[in-house]
Amino acid sequence: MLEGKTCLVTGANSGLGRETALALARMKANVVMVCRDKGKGDAARREISKESGNESVDLLLCDLSSLAEVRTLAAEVRNRYGKLHVLVNNAGLFSFSGKTPDGFETTFAVDYLAPFLLTNLLLELLKASAPSRIVNVSSVAHFSGHIDFDAIRRGGGVTGWGAYSNSKLALVMFTYELARRLQGTGVTANCLHPGGVATNIWRIPAALTRPFLKSAKEGAQTSIYLASSPDVESASGKYFENEKEKKSSEESYDEKKALELWDETSKIVGLST
């Protein structure tokens, strides 16, 4: 189904992103890996190409904590590729402290602002390539989140778990609002919880967590499913777990709040509302 299709995966050098990129490459897609570190990205690209037998695996570099770099990435994608059929916003971060160069809380910037901006900047390309799909990797942590517009205007507000859960809720609400706006375009937008996965995002010793968590390969299955399966080719505005549609948090379905969130985020990242 994906042979010859162009698929972009952020955070693709390790964990869920690497497994997703590898699976899409095995389906003979033209895979575009987005990574922050050139050395790690190059190594992963070579491995994925070798393991999949697919030479059409590219690497683009971007630090997703920088809005300027996200804009540069989007421009490079538009200039280099005539089509984009799948966008997997996979890159994620859990940070207890820190601000980005733009002055935003780091987790909020990487987990929400970056996919919001990147997706919007690539929407016309996705529409021109329809049928196409947008897949946003959220988390069950969004059930603990809350949208606080005062905090958002201050650049994210809280840190740690609060920032992570709030960002993942914002990503779910963004997905739903995006799906409403994309009705009739041939572009779908869905989000997912990958499950508890043993990846580098948690910065916790693997020996303590790995016995209780999924492998990255297991955790990536729902992302791969949403990016490629004909079973969900018309599904949009849904939240998935274990390749099944699930109900997300009550707040995530607040359409009025989703509209306000879209407008506030557009102002923050410098997009027209």
Predicted confidence (pLDDT) per residue in 73-98, tens digit: 999 999 999 999 999 999 999 877 78
Q: Strand 6-10 vs strand 86-89: parallel, antiparallel, or unpaired? A: parallel
The answer to the question of residue 181 being in a domain is yes
The span from the CA of 108 to the CA of 114, in Å, is 9
Q: How many CB atoms lie within 10 A of CB 68?
A: 10
The answer to the question of residue 78 being in a domain is yes
- Where does 16-171 show beta strands of DSSP type E? 30-35, 57-61, 86-89, 132-137
Q: What range defines the domain where residue 174 resides? A: 6-269
Catalytic annotation, pick one of 112, 164, 176, 239: 164
Q: How many domains does the chain have?
A: 1
- Where does the chain show beta strands of DSSP type E? 6-10, 30-35, 57-61, 86-89, 132-137, 187-193, 238-241, 244-246
The answer to the question of residue 113 being in a domain is yes
Neighbour order of strands in the sheet with 6-10:
57-61, 30-35, 6-10, 86-89, 132-137, 187-193, 238-241, 244-246
The answer to the question of residue 1 being in a domain is no
Q: What is the pLDDT of residues 255-272, one digit of tens each?
A: 999 999 999 999 999 997
Q: Are 201 and 207 in contact (CB under 8 A)?
A: no
Kindly report the length of the chain. Answer: 273
Task: Assess whether 164 carries a catalytic annotation.
Answer: yes
The answer to the question of residue 52 being in a domain is yes
Two structure tokens written together for 239 = 């939240």
Burial category of 78 from C-beta neighbours within 10 Å (exposed 0-12, middle 13-18, buried 19 and up): middle
Identify the CATH number of the domain in which residue 20 sits: 3.40.50.720
Question: What are 160-167's contacts with CB under 8 Å, separation 24+?
Answer: 160/94, 160/95, 160/96, 160/107, 163/95, 163/105, 163/106, 163/107, 163/108, 164/94, 164/107, 164/111, 164/139, 165/139, 165/141, 166/108, 167/107, 167/108, 167/111, 167/112
The answer to the question of residue 265 being in a domain is yes
Per-residue pLDDT for the chain (273 aa), expressed as one digit of tens each?
A: 799 999 999 999 999 999 999 999 999 999 999 999 999 999 999 999 999 999 999 999 999 999 999 999 999 999 999 999 999 999 999 877 788 989 999 999 999 999 999 999 999 999 999 999 999 999 999 999 999 998 888 776 677 888 999 999 999 999 999 999 999 999 999 999 998 655 554 444 445 444 447 799 999 999 999 999 999 999 999 999 999 999 999 999 999 999 999 999 999 999 975
Residue type, 175: T
The answer to the question of residue 112 being in a domain is yes
The answer to the question of residue 44 being in a domain is yes
Max CA separation in the chain (angstroms): 50
